[in-house]
Structure 1
Amino acid sequence: MTPSISGHTALAGVLGNPVHHSLSPAMHNAALEELGLDWVYLALPAAADQLEAVLRGLEAVDCRGLNVTLPHKQAVAGLCRTLSPLAERLGAVNTLVRHPQGGWRGDNTDVAGFLAPLRAGGRDWQGKRAVVLGCGGSARAVVAALVELGCGSIELAGRNAAKQEALLASCRCWAPQLEALTWQPQTTQPCQSTGLESALAEASLVVNTTPVGMASASDPGAASRCPLSPVELEALPPQSCVYDLIYTPRPTALLAAAAARGCEALDGLEMLVQQGAAALRQWSGIDAVPVAAMRAAALAQLSPPGTGP
């Protein structure tokens, strides 16, 4: 039963552009109902040139907390009164908490969200080798998480040399184990060996941070694509873990191929749930937030009625 909204109902939400597709409202409203909090969580579209005005307005109406998604994670960091040490290091914010002296405190719960399923699996990642595909904003949070996990070697494979070098330069002071890999376009010569192929063959953990393989209404073939070529997929050790930040479709082409090789396959849905739960703990001051209800609500949004889980 959906709780009624009254003049006493408090507001929380997610800022992005576009943001209509977000699963966060379903997740958070399920949690708020179970906690008995008279709050409502909304998707709040915000244009880049209006972001500062939107934040001031939401503070003025006593908004209890905000998530931030693309494309505002970096821009919003410059609009915060203070930043957590992690958000300052990453230069990216995905969670805003009201500052007691006015304005917002910026934090980043993407790292905690990413780590949750890896830690839940019980494997020891200390000293292990990891390969990260892509060099966008998500890759920075993943690298920070892998450092926290204790990985001894982190290799970054990017096709944009300038972006790759910029990311390496900004992370070297706190990720000394981070190195660059050359990632060539997919080859039509299956016998050709590449630096990435060799790295994959020695990896314990492979993380895809690129959008390749994400379902798209405007591109029917997008979901069938894989960021790795057939020869690169063949290099994956069966005992490795492959983690794709994408969760639509489930499984992605990458994870289906990895599972067929006997790899452990993780998608990004649990990361989404856990980063949201971490944010809700900060806004509400309640540690025991209903993660199971958040996960079930997200899955229900991904699975239309009658299609099963």
Structure 2
Amino acid sequence: MSYEDNATRLFIIGSHASHTMSSDLWNPVFEELGNCWTYQPWDVPAQGEMQDVRNGLLAADVIGANVTMPHKQWAAAIADERSEQVSLSGAANLLIRQDDQLSAYNTDLIAVETGLATKSHDHVLLLGAGGAARAALVALKGRIGTIIITDRHRDVAEELLTLAKGMGIPGRTVDFSQVAEAATQATLIINATPIGKDPKDPAPWGKARLRPGTFVYDFVYCEHVTGTILSAIDQGLEYSDGWEHLLLQAEAMIPLLGLGEQTAAQLRLSLKRIRDSY
């Protein structure tokens, strides 16, 4: 993919975009690659003026934007073109500008496919029902036996369950108060909520003991090890943390942005520098 010579800006759009690590991850990579691209946070509150955001992304010097909470479904809805995965999930975390149009992709989905779709999962507990959860669900299509979905907003969980059933996945929703019980039945637990951002956050299932062999997948990355991952480590379970997810979804952006193969190695070095600084 090629861009106009003056197209140099990439953004991350979200209600707390300036608190993400994405700029720290990507800007050293662009510097090492010797191009003049920059990656900038763009804080847009949940009730922000989204038409202005879309208009801003169509500026001639903009390449595109990653999109994070709570705007992933907005990104899918306003795109002029959508990948098949975006159309199915109803969520996008990457918008790329081509002339006066925006194309939507979901590299969260590609990351989950890479990390989890190599085998089937009998009983899945999905924590959260937003854009990340939608990506995880679609990524595992055809590899889920049953699913339990929980979200603090029960109507949102029910909406996602409808999508799951439409894909042939039986399941149910539960209140957050029932997470501990549901977790003990799961063979795969996916945390697609912000739980864990605060170092005081315990694992969503508290002190419950999980089934041997359960796999824990956490979308949350931060300076500390999350309670979710600490619980998995304590119980001797396999896991994938939010840093791994961040890297996998970033690597999935490389061909979409037309970057060279050396970009993957630079991303890994950049991520290692960030983690070593904590």
TM-score in terms of structure 2 length: 0.85
What is the letter of the counterpart of residue 213 of structure 1?
G
Counterpart in 2 of 1:140? 134
Counterpart of 1:214 (choices 172, 197, 209) is 197
Counterpart in 2 of 1:79? 78
Counterpart in 2 of 1:116? 114
Residue 7 of structure 2 contacts residue 62 of structure 2 at CA under 8 Å; is this kept in 1? Answer: no
Greater Rg by CA: 1
Counterpart in 2 of 1:246? 220
Counterpart in 2 of 1:278? 252
What is the letter of the counterpart of residue 207 of structure 1?
I
Residue 184 of structure 1: how far off its partner (Å)? 5.4
CA distance in 2: counterparts of 1:160 and 1:132, whole angstroms? 14
What is the letter of the counterpart of residue 72 of structure 2?
K
Counterpart in 1 of 2:68? 69
- Asked if 1:255 corresponds to 2:254, the answer is no
Residue 68 of structure 1 contacts residue 96 of structure 1 at CA under 8 Å; is this kept in 2? Answer: yes
Work out the percentage of aligned pairs sharing the same amino acid: 28
Counterpart in 1 of 2:37? 39
CA distance in 1: counterparts of 2:262 and 2:96, whole angstroms? 17
Cα distance per residue 1:219-270 (max 9 Å; x no partner): xxx534221032xx21x12322111222225421222122121111221111
Map of 1:96-175 to 2, 5 A cutoff?
Answer: 96-99=95-98, 102-118=100-116, 124-126=118-120, 128-147=122-141, 150-158=143-151, 160-174=153-167
Name the CA shift for 1:29/1:264 in 2 (closer, same or farther; >3 Å): same
CA distance in 2: counterparts of 1:154 and 1:297, whole angstroms? 36
> Which runs of 5 or more residues in structure 2 are unaligned?
none
CA distance in 2: counterparts of 1:289 and 1:137, whole angstroms? 30
Counterpart in 1 of 2:24? 26
Name the CA shift for 1:155/1:166 in 2 (closer, same or farther; >3 Å): same
CA distance in 2: counterparts of 1:65 and 1:129, whole angstroms? 37
Cα distance per residue 1:248-297 (max 9 Å; x no partner): 254212221221211112211111122122223212x2362533432443
CA distance in 2: counterparts of 1:19 and 1:299, whole angstroms? 21
CA distance in 1: counterparts of 2:125 and 2:87, whole angstroms? 24
Aligned residues: 273
RMSD over equivalenced CA pairs, Å: 2.7
Residue 52 of structure 1 contacts residue 79 of structure 1 at CA under 8 Å; is this kept in 2? Answer: no
Counterpart in 2 of 1:180? 172
CA distance in 1: counterparts of 2:238 and 2:200, whole angstroms? 20
CA distance in 2: counterparts of 1:237 and 1:267, whole angstroms? 19
CA distance in 2: counterparts of 1:240 and 1:94, whole angstroms? 28
Residue 6 of structure 2 contacts residue 60 of structure 2 at CA under 8 Å; is this kept in 1? Answer: no
Counterpart in 2 of 1:60? 59
TM-score in terms of structure 1 length: 0.77
Report which structure shows greater RCO (CA 8 Å, sep ≥6). 1
